[in-house]
Amino acid sequence: MPKNQAMPWQSYVDDEHKTVVFNLTMGESRFIDAASYFGTEIEASLFEDEASEPELEVFFTGTKIGGISAKIILNLVLDNQIIDILSNNIDESMRMPSGVTKTTFTAKGERAMSHLKIRALTFIPGTNLEEAMIENLFGKPDKIELADEGVSYWHYPQKGLRIIVDAEHKEVLEFYNQ
């Protein structure tokens, strides 16, 4: 692992109360900053339903961080201007069984996203993380919430992080501004 390679357990909340992970500051850093770090093999999708605000996600495929294979998902900040641009650059739109509409975009549409700010970052490691390993890397959580059977939420507010610990599936690390 390169000495300057940022790792997920090195996240922190800065003096402006913004989460910083992989040298990306939530609410300030842009998609293009993440692409220079994670690569350019992406799939961008807009998820819409009537009950909530649209969510624009960028999924990085085949990412390695310090030798760890991972999936990275960025949630980007949307505004009306980018929604107008994206609506003219739709590749495919489909309604999913959940009722959510998923829209993907042309390469031109994806390029138009490059300067959008990152609202949140999700890190899904390629290997399962045991609870002892999580505590060793991240420390003891401030709070643990029990959800469904075998699922718990570990909160690390000083790291701007929530970890979904799941006995059946891979863990999910969610970095966002508190």
Q: Of 37, 32, 39, which Cα lies nearest the Cα of 21?
A: 37
Q: How many CB atoms lie within 10 A of CB 79?
A: 9
CB 12 within 8 Å of CB 4: no
pLDDT at residue 5 in the model: 56
Average of pLDDT values for 101-129?
94
Average of pLDDT values for 117-136?
93
Sign of the Cα pseudo-torsion (147, 165, 27, 57, in order): negative
- The string of pLDDT tens digits covering residues 129-176 is 889 999 999 999 999 999 888 899 999 999 999 999 988 888 999 999
Confidence of residue 6 (pLDDT cuts 50, 70, 90): confident
Q: What is the dihedral of CA 147, 71, 16, 53, to 10 degrees?
A: -70
- The string of pLDDT tens digits covering residues 47-85 is 999 888 899 999 998 788 877 889 999 999 998 899 899
Predicted confidence (pLDDT) at residue 1 exceeds the cutoff of 60 = no
Q: Is 41 helix (H, G, I), strand (E, B) or coil?
A: coil
Q: Is 5 helix (H, G, I), strand (E, B) or coil?
A: coil
Question: Which amino acid, residue 82?
Answer: I
Predicted confidence (pLDDT) at residue 4 exceeds the cutoff of 60 = no
Domain boundaries, the chain: 8-127
Read off the tokens for 85.
Answer: 């641009």
DSSP letters for 128-148: PPPHHHHHHHH-S-SEEEE-S
Predicted confidence (pLDDT) at residue 106 exceeds the cutoff of 90 = yes
> What is the chain's mean pLDDT, rounded?
92
pLDDT at residue 150 in the model: 83
Q: How many CB atoms lie within 10 A of CB 176?
A: 18
Q: Of 31, 2, 21, which Cα lies nearest the Cα of 123?
A: 21
H-only helix segments in the chain: 31-38, 80-87, 107-112, 131-138
